[in-house]
Amino acid sequence: MTRTLHLNAFLMNTGHHEASWRLPESDPHAHVDLAHYVRLARIAERGTFDSLFLADGPQLWSNLAQRPAGALEPLTLLTALATATEHIGLIATASTSYNSPYNLARRFASLDIVSGGRAGWNIVTTAGAEAARNFGLEAEPAHAERYARAAEFLEVALKLWDSWEDDAVVADKAAGVWGDDSKIHPPRHRGTYFSVAGALNVPRIPQGYPLLVQAGSSDDGRAFAARYAEAVFTAQQTLADAQAFYRDLKARTLRAGRDPEHVKVLPGIVPVLGSTEAEARAAERLLEDHIVYDHGVARLESLLQLPAGTLELDGPLPADLPPESAVEGAKSRYTLVVELARRERLTVRQLIGRLGGGRGHLTFAGTPEQVAGQIGTWFTEGAADGFNIMPAVLPSGLEAFVEHVVPILRRRGLFRTEYGARRTLRERYGLPRPANQYLTPASVRSA
């Protein structure tokens, strides 16, 4: 079977560049406008993207001066988008640190049913003391503890999604029998973090489980992904780093007893397009010219866990930054940013400019042919199974990608021309529908 790209549209209000909201074309209120997201979803669907993705966190991002802040709750928004689209997958971020398995499993089950099998869950553990304080904690739990809780959370969610057998609903009007209680399997789970007794109050969903996505690249994150994830969103700056991550994750997946083909690696890319390379570079400079560097310094000091006022805008990063092992927040992003600054000998000002578009994801300014070439190289040279497309400005960046890059990828045989018969998100990612864990192999075969 011919290997083809998986493309996911990562949607973020007016675009991924922090200054995108300041452009004349941008609507500063788009982040809470349903019509804006419907338009984006339909553009991505026109481009036959596998899925779209909404990030989220249980805290107010940044300060109000910097960029549009606040966001609609993603599962609520995706349920609305499910009624405005037909094919595209719908992936929401939800935290295992600040949710309960029963309620979250029910919400994802509801989205999967409403959308006809298009739901995906980006599983995050949520770093940061600010989020912790919103839930009555003085500090965030330790990194390893967050992942231990996440593993148990997911195990409970899987039990809940399996708590109904597929044929539990009989609907026999003549006999007066609606369902078969023998086909309900309450989890009766008692663990370190959770105690969940009863079955889910939603029938088994079209996909069995939502597509399971993970986005951490630390050692704990990779171990979790190898055990559970079916798609991994990652940030890599160089082809060599992306290839190393790809090899490592596929090897870990095999060691975990899973098929490495059943986990898709999707690095993020922020494409800035122009009809010529000079035009693309000019568009990139325009965005950088609109960065407010005071905001960038404050954000960078927070990421690097430095006291306010530490960084000098036209100087390098401090030489004595702590190692990743000492960081309890976003470990992999910390390392990526520090290595980027050291490798390219960037000043703080230059580093902020590089991070302004994608917060550590690869940014690439060029013609449609150059962007398609970059994507094709990473795909064919063992660095990616697809990409998280992160337009710098929305909706124009997504429209340009669909109109000018997707046709090139199609002509090169790297991407689909239509959705075809595969209707669920799992099918589109080449994944089987999982068997119900409460059924024996013999009963599954005889069903």
Query: Binding residue per annotation — 93?
Result: yes
Query: Binding residue per annotation — 26?
Result: no
SS (H, E, C) the chain: CCCCCEEEEEECCCCCCCCHHHCCCCCCCHHHCHHHHHHHHHHHHHCCCCEEEECCCCCCCCCCCCCCCCCCCHHHHHHHHHCCCCCCEEEEEEECCCCCHHHHHHHHHHHHHHHCCCEEEEEECCCCHHHHHCCCCCCCCCHHHHHHHHHHHHHHHHHHHCCECCCCEEEECCCCEEECHHHECCCCEECCCCEECCCCCCCCCCCCCCEEEECCCCHHHHHHHHHHCCEEEECCCCHHHHHHHHHHHHHHHHHCCCCHHHCEEEEEEEEEECCCHHHHHHHHHHHHHCCCHHHHHHHHHHHCCCCCCCCCCCCCCCCCCCCHHHCCCCHHHHHHHHHHHHHHCCCHHHHHHHHHHHCCCEEEEECHHHHHHHHHHHHHCCCCCEEEECCCCCCHHHHHHHHHHHHHHHHCCCCCCCCCCCCCHHHHCCCCCCCCCCCCHHHHHHC
Query: Binding residue per annotation — 147?
Result: yes
Query: Binding residue per annotation — 217?
Result: yes
Query: Binding residue per annotation — 56?
Result: yes
Query: Binding residue per annotation — 95?
Result: no
Bind-site residues for FMN: 56, 93, 143, 147, 217-218
Point out the annotated binding site.
Answer: 56, 93, 143, 147, 217-218
